[in-house]
Amino acid sequence: MKKIAFLGLDNAGKTSIITAISQRFGFEETVAKLMPTRRIARDTFKFLGLEFSRLDFGGQRIYRNDYLKHPEKFLSGIDLIFYVIDAQDFDRYIESIDYLEEVLLFFKETQEDVMVSILFHKFDPQLVDNVEINKRILTLKQALTRYSNHFDIFFFETTIFDIKSIMDTFSSGLSMLFEKIEMVSNLFSEISKNYNTILISLFDSKGITLGESYRPHLQLTQKLKIYEIYLNLQKRIIAENRTLFEFSDKFEDGERFSGIIEVLKFGKLDFYLLFIIEEDETDLEKTVSLLDKIEAAKPQMENLILQLIQ
Ligand SMILES: Nc1nc2c(ncn2[C@@H]2O[C@H](COP(=O)(O)OP(=O)(O)O)[C@@H](O)[C@H]2O)c(=O)[nH]1
Ligand SMILES: [Mg+2]
């Protein structure tokens, strides 16, 4: 059993993030009704056949004091921390860093191995080009790099208004716990070279990415378009009990693409393979045969997944 902890001050957005991850569709209503978390909320989930315990540490000061007073009781055995900072709340940056520092001190002293993902959360879409918040986040990142001598630290910007930012962050964090997982992305970039690939990606049934390879310079709006398609397809595949779906669509600029989503079954575990390529408008036959060719790569992929499942 692996242990994952969501830590940070109260109101940072920890419970919202967990809710978004576990629901993925239509979580807005649940998030709007969230109450402050009392003490520690726990749930479990499975990834690659391995059981994970997910701990949501209520961030009120009284709880924080309690955790820090008995860290061996609360923090011991954690494999991965998602440390959530409310990026919009400049006034509490210092308080948040102080808390992180104390948490990390425990792991440093006990020499327990822990991975740390730091989330600059509430980085909402309308703030992406905001100079002030970008400057503040950058300063904070610079201050935080001093921990990288002792810990594997990774930074992410997230917002619940972009579910992809959350799922990508969660997937990256989890994949740090699986050494071999990067082989999936490596295989995909190899395969991509042979076709006019826009995206090859492998998800589990909860939407956690095992690996992906995008066409270089794919714009954010294009990525989001693809992600929206993927979410809808996954919903339909489940609702209609299908294992395969072919589709064709276009980006805002008119560029057309074709894709296929296929369910790969391993015992009780389902994985989703998404393959999207540029459409060759002069020769649609060619596009169709390309989609066939992904079949050729499947044995390799299945072999890889088998190695990853615990
Ligand atoms: N603007 C914005 N608000 C958010 C975001 N995520 C969470 N919130 C809000 O932040 C508040 C605190 O969220 P909650 O998940 O309870 O924080 P927690 O105390 O860390 O668990 C709630 O009002 C949420 O609706 C986000 O990405 N952007
Ligand atoms: Mg909470």
Domains, the chain, with CATH or none: 2-177 (3.40.50.300), 182-308 (3.30.450.190)
- 201-233 residue pLDDT tens: 999 988 999 999 998 888 888 888 998 898 888
Residue with the nearest Cα to atom 26 of ligand 1?
122
Q: What is the pLDDT at residue 301? A: 85
Q: What is the pLDDT at residue 221? A: 85
Residue 310 scores a pLDDT above 80: no
Q: What is the pLDDT at residue 193? A: 83
Ligand 1 atom showing the smallest separation from residue 160 Cα: 27
Q: Cα of 27 to ligand 2 centre, how many Å?
A: 15
Ligand 1 atom showing the smallest separation from residue 84 Cα: 20
Residues 6+ apart with CB under 8 A from 308: 48, 178, 180, 181, 184, 210
Residue 13 scores a pLDDT above 90: yes
| Separation CA 24–CA 166 (nearest Å) | 10
Residue 179 scores a pLDDT above 90: no
Q: What is the pLDDT at residue 287? A: 63
| Separation CA 244–CA 283 (nearest Å) | 23
**Phi (first) and psi of residue 171, to 5 degrees:** -65, -45
Using a pLDDT cut of 90, give the percent of the chain over it.
Answer: 60
Banded model confidence at residue 46, pLDDT cuts 50, 70, 90: very high
* 54-58, 60-64, 300-304: segment of lowest average pLDDT: 300-304
Residues 6+ apart with CB under 8 A from 141: 155
- 83-104 residue pLDDT tens: 999 999 999 999 999 999 999 9
| Separation CA 27–CA 25 (nearest Å) | 6
| Separation CA 193–CA 51 (nearest Å) | 35
Q: What is the pLDDT at residue 194? A: 77
Q: Cα of 83 to ligand 1 centre, how many Å?
A: 14
**Ligand 1 pocket residues where CB is under 6 Å:** 8, 10-16, 31, 34, 36-37, 59, 121-122, 124, 159-160
Banded model confidence at residue 23, pLDDT cuts 50, 70, 90: confident
Average pLDDT over residues 119-130: 96
Q: Cα of 19 to ligand 1 centre, how many Å?
A: 11
SS (H, E, C) 78-128: CCEEEEEEECCCHHHHHHHHHHHHHHHHHHHHHCCCCEEEEEEECCCHHHC
| Residue with more model confidence, 83 or 188 | 83
DSSP assignments along 27-49, one per residue: -HHHHHT--PPPSEEEEEEEETT
Q: What is the pLDDT at residue 30? A: 82
Dmax over CA atoms of the chain, in Å, equals 68
Q: What is the pLDDT at residue 5? A: 98
Q: What is the pLDDT at residue 195? A: 78
| Separation CA 82–CA 85 (nearest Å) | 10
Residue 124 scores a pLDDT above 90: yes
Q: Cα of 38 to ligand 2 centre, how many Å?
A: 7
DSSP conformational letter for 12: S
Residue with the nearest Cα to atom 9 of ligand 1?
13
Average pLDDT over residues 47-67: 95
User: For the whole prediction, is pTM greater than 0.85?
Assistant: yes
From 34, 81, 166, mutation site for ligand 1 pocket: most ligand atoms within 8 A of C-beta: 34
Q: Which ligand is nearest to the CA of 30?
A: 1
